Structure 1
């Protein structure tokens, strides 16, 4: 959420940031709503002040036995009692109108973020490792999984429809091993605190990290209904909870509506959870295999920091996510996203793209992690603040990153470590999680 005072102080900079996002100028319309809001608030406050003053004057008039003046003042107070609710309602409506408009506007990019309108404007930051050479043509993960008999999309479709998968035996265990390895690495070596958060959250929690209101159709919703008795009929009261699209939602909101001691910061949290995405905007994209699923597993990294340390924390978070792929010995590259390709809440984002040799002609890079710094954008939506040495509360900065997507890591391991006979070699670092198993073969 943007600070209207900041927009008021520098509307040109705000519009320039929006332009880098490919959006039209909005400062003039926002400031017009703000002016209306401030005028409504002032009118309401002035009416309240006048009512208080008039009430005091009534007592003075009665003491002075000036009944005419007392009657006139009482009539004024009565009129104010009638008009004040209208003034308060007008102020509230203007405040809600401004909040609604601000809530739909994405975060502004940092100056260092490259310009660009889509993924073609992203800039390569660095590369790790090299493509592997195979004496055979590498296969797609779903061909490998189906041949092994351990990846079943048809069974999943019978249960849940498209974009779901049933993993079995060695591949089910390999996915679990990857998630546990990531979680252990981040908690024992990278200083993250493990959290087991709720998977169902309230609307205001989704709003806090930017999923609402703009991306409502991209979420899955669970509706709880309760029949209520009434004199002539029955009616239904419902409560809606959202299934988290990423543990970022639950973890970041742990700081909501609180004032943290800055001695507690940075707060570094991690979780291994199922994630759920309706993929409303991805119709026809990546329909084959496990690349884009409605349900998937991910290890999430979240940091709550001070404004002074958030940029350095982004570099640290990126290094933590990279270390996962380095230990799996997977070839990848890091991309700095351009302004037009960043997520809604982000100020700056690094994408880690892992090489998948079975994808397309000769393989391709596919995103496996995004690490973003959001500044105080989410903190304002959540009212998450900290208190520094001067004792004054201020908004924290939030960061989030995949550390990493477990399903896509499984795909990358399968395609990278595939062997000519269709078996999958287990990376050394995962073998302790696999009971020492070195190769996944069809039984």
Structure 2
């Protein structure tokens, strides 16, 4: 069967799934919140402002972009904007190739990155802030993620018994944008069975060896729950017996939407909503090893990995640049343009102190859905994981766009005259 025939069969068999399954972009991790029952957030009155309709709405509301003054950004005047300015310079490695962003990126390269007031003047001179709302909701959910450290080996051993797979050779992935540009966020997965195209194997199937007989094993790790959270985070490092670190990142996914194992535990009465943090789930798994397979298989989604360069920076996000610890966020790219600076007003998960910071939209995630929605990248290692695993805060967002660029233009790629 030739490639064209496979393509036709796959599109025919899976086209009906287009409205139900939204897969992340190739470099984007599939990171859902641990619990799918966030605390209800208060609503504000419906704001005025331009309405931008996404081709595939993330909710029943439309995103609104309300131009505001800099004084409307809580904490803007007090913030040290030099901290995290390197995140914009990283974004400009991608944005600088776009006409509408090029002048601002060229100007950014001339700014003293250690001088907070110079950085503030740069933004206030060249950008317009827009408050983001999801219909009448100005408050949304902010979760956290990080780059975990696992222990394992490149060979199966007593220490490493759980495989980290590269994408199997029979996994077919179709980018629907090649036929329907309005479906640019949609990818379909499947496999050929005889002369039919069928959905790919579920997590339960893959864990029993189906579909991965010929898949490359990048490493063998020692803890299955840590491997599961590696799939949730989308990237991580594996410490080998020699002390060398093997870095891996998201490569592909089996096509099934993520189902929260935190919600599964809540529905079973095993944990309360407040206990269903990453740490709470890990503690439950340690106390209930006989039920671990049942827990993990409640989520049919399965993530495959690729090797990454073991540099000293953060993992690559969906924008294609390294993430900056504490200054990068994952967003829903249908509403927040990838690469745009974002003023975020939320709170720390421990102590609930205000967290108001200029972030950079450099990543996406399978569960990051909606206009006012962000996933905060805390960095690498256990300490970052302690904070990220507990983060489930209310938050507000303002996107910063170059003057003269409308939100619609930014979402279309920022191809203005500059």
TM-score exceeds 0.5: no
Query: Which structure has more RCO (C-alpha within 8 Å, separation ≥ 6)?
Result: 2
Richer in helix (by share): 1
Which TM-score bucket, shorter chain as reference?
A: under 0.3
- With normalisation by structure 2, the TM-score equals 0.23
- With normalisation by structure 1, the TM-score equals 0.22
